[in-house]
Structure 1
Amino acid sequence: MATHSQKDAYLYKKVITIGTVCELTGLSERQIRYYEKRKLIFPERSERGNRKYSFSDVEALMDIANKMEDGMQTSELRKEMQKKESKRYDNKLRERMIRGQLNAYFNKRD
């Protein structure tokens, strides 16, 4: 049976072209490139230099566009993204520590 992360792996594969992203989001190539320049989105590049996006990038772009429409500045969005990433890192670290403590406890009992 596939794990949760394996099932969601397709969300993060960078396989979508900028043209398709434009169709999916309603954003122009210029807007998408601007968000990349402002370090809000991080596409990969193909061997030919074409941008490649994932489904999670598409979701992020839609979220960015909605927040920009509501008046948020790109600097505010970047700070928000950094806070989320920091929180995600802290949660993973906490999870590893707890797992380690549980392993140590149960291994000590054997």
Structure 2
Amino acid sequence: MSYKDQKVIGIGTVSELTGLSLRQIRYYEERKLIFPARTEGGTRKYSFSDVEKLIDIANKMEDGLQTSEIKKIEKRIKDRKVRDQMIRGQLNAAFRIRK
């Protein structure tokens, strides 16, 4: 796991890094745009990747997109990545390419 994906940052620090309010960050979680980890005590923990994603979400919201539109865009990107990985795997198998 990359250091960027380790969930170690508290919500207060994320708020400072992104300029978003705690309420905005929680709202994006409610809308299933961001998925923080939870400690046993229920404290949210974010990664550097989450911080980057929150900044991207905030920029898209400023551009006038709704959260539902952002979710659709993210789903298309994820679907495209999965498709690309499948094609790459098929090509590697067909040509017996090993990493």
User: Normalization by structure 1: what TM-score?
Assistant: 0.83
TM superposition shift of 1:102? 2.0
Q: Segments of 4+ in structure 1 off by > 6 A?
A: none
Q: Distance in 2 between matches of 1:97 and 1:13?
A: 31
Q: Structure 2 length as normaliser, TM-score?
A: 0.92
Larger Rg: 1
Letter in 2 for 1:40: L
Match of 1:87?
80
Once residues 91 and 40 of structure 2 are traced to their aligned partners in structure 1, the CA distance between those partners, rounded to angstroms, is 42
**Residue identity opposite 1:21 in structure 2:** V
- Structure 2 CA distance for aligned equivalents of residues 102 and 47 of structure 1: 48
**Once the 2 structures are TM-superposed, how far is the Cα of residue 70 of structure 1 from its aligned partner?**
1.2
Unmatched 5+ residue regions in structure 1? 1-5
1:21-100 matched pairs, under 5 angstroms? 21-100=14-93
Higher helix share: 1
CA–CA distance in 2 between the matches of 1:96 and 1:46? 37
Q: In the TM superposition, what is the alpha-carbon distance from 1:11 to its structure 2 partner?
A: 1.1
Give the aligned length: 98
- Cα deviation per residue 1:70-91 (whole Å; 9 max; x = unaligned)? 1100010000010011011111
The whole-number CA distance in structure 2 between the counterparts of 1:76 and 1:44 is 24
Deviations 1:13-65 (A, max 9, x none): 11111111001001011000000101111111112111111111100100100
DSSP-derived class of the 2:96 partner: helix
